[in-house]
Amino acid sequence: MDRNSRFLLKSFRKYYKENPPELPDRFTKREFGFMFFDSGMVQRHIGFPNMDELRRFMIGRVPSHSYYSTAYYRKPAAPTMEEKEWLGAELIFDLDADHLAGAESMTYSEMLLQIRGEMIRLVDSFLTSDLGFSEKEIHLTFSGGRGYHAHIPAPSVLGLGTQERRELVDYITCNGLDMDRVFPFQETALSQMRVGGASRTSVGRDRLIPEAGSGGWSGKMREGLMGVVNDVCDLDFDVVRRIYPSLKGSRKSSMESLQKDLRGGRKALFERNNMAALDRGHQETLVRIMREDVAPRMTSEIDKPVTPDIKRIIRLPGSVHGKTGLRVTTITRDQLSGFDPLEDAVPDSYSDAPTKVTMKRDYEFRMKGEDFRLSGETEVPEYAAVFLVGRKAADYGHLSESKEALF
């Protein structure tokens, strides 16, 4: 075990002596899994009969990462999944910042801020709104690393299989949304004409708009379309092209025509719930914007493989994350809006004592109300040292000193 691992192990042991992990409901029916500082493998198929046994394990073994099963089992410590006898599983949604577009260029704090917004959207736009879960049924946690988890242990979802859970993922991620069903065609008689002595009716096809108060994706698309129409009517063309990339190649004359048409028919669109007041080419332009630009922004960046997995293990609330030293923290929906992991998930057991570290690269961050701008050999509070060493942004100690002087 290297010096960095020994430092983190010492800090984690101090934490676990003062802070027992939070127990999930029916924890004796859960499988537990752990990783350790001296091993890169996950040790699974562990069960605990009571809280004291789990706490002694955490203090004695000091895991670097701690997990528990989202599933309930008759025999959680059985060595194979078949022998465990699956009884049901929570519904889980995992949001991790590494799935965000452009994550590689973001700072840690920027990633945390954006992924928090994604979790807020998931809860407010999908879980409580479309799917009808109450806030009490949704248990939220900060993962300790780069994301958030939503656990739903409601009896109504425990028996859902992989396919049903995958359908929920498809709904939330807008996979397979049919714009011809959201904005269906309505045939309209335009005129009568004589052809070969017979009378024929000319028929036009105009797009309908979901009615006010529509639920699900229909309601989301109506609101999104209102935003598109207002933007095209009120903003400069260059700004509109930036907001809606599907219009990037549009000529100025086409944009002027679309804008003029929308300005004249803006009010009628949503009073009549159809696009009949618009040129049909402009109707299709709006549908393309909704499909290519708007709908993807209304989804939530969930980790797609996690939710359908009915035998998943996930971070144990109250444990600490081996790559940050931050606590896996249970929060309410109200707390989520202002939650800052580098303020609210820093364990109190980490002290303010000056701790020597050697930076691997220049690093700036804000933690517990203090701004840090670090390079080279320096000293920081212990809580910051744990974070930096866990993030592999620094080595514990001053490397110019002898190894013996550090321990």
Three-state SS letters, 45-66: EECCCCHHHHHHHHHHHCCCEE
Instruction: Enumerate the domain spans of the chain.
Output: 3-173+301-344, 179-297, 354-406
Interatomic CA distance for residues 357 and 395, integer angstroms: 6
| pLDDT in single tens digits along all 407 residues of the chain | 899 999 999 999 999 999 988 899 999 999 999 999 998 889 999 999 999 999 999 999 999 999 999 999 999 999 999 999 999 999 999 999 988 888 989 999 999 999 999 999 999 999 999 999 999 999 999 999 999 999 999 999 999 999 999 999 999 999 999 999 999 999 865 544 444 555 555 456 899 999 999 999 999 999 999 999 999 999 999 999 999 999 998 999 999 999 999 999 998 999 999 999 999 999 999 999 999 999 999 998 899 999 999 999 999 999 999 999 999 999 999 999 999 999 999 999 999 999 999 999 999 999 999 999 999 999 999 999 999 999 999 999 998 875 555 55
Q: Is 303 a catalytic residue?
A: yes
Interatomic CA distance for residues 42 and 66, integer angstroms: 9
Q: What CATH superfamily is the domain 3-173+301-344?
A: DNA primase, PRIM domain (3.90.920.10)
- Cα–Cα–Cα angle for 178, 180, 183, rounded to 5 degrees: 110
Q: Is 371 a catalytic residue?
A: no
Contact, 294 vs 314, CB < 8 A? no
Q: How many CB atoms lie within 10 A of CB 366?
A: 12
Annotated catalytic residue: which of 96, 261, 309, 395? 96
Query: Cβ neighbours of residue 392 under 8 Å, at least 6 residues apart?
Result: 323, 360
Dihedral over Cα of 382, 383, 385, 389: its sign: positive
Helix (H) or strand (E) holding 357: strand 354-359
How far CA 326 is from CA of 82, 197, 342, 390, in Å, comes to: 34, 83, 8, 9
Annotated catalytic residue: which of 206, 231, 293, 303? 303
Q: Is 261 a catalytic residue?
A: no
- pTM tops 0.85: yes
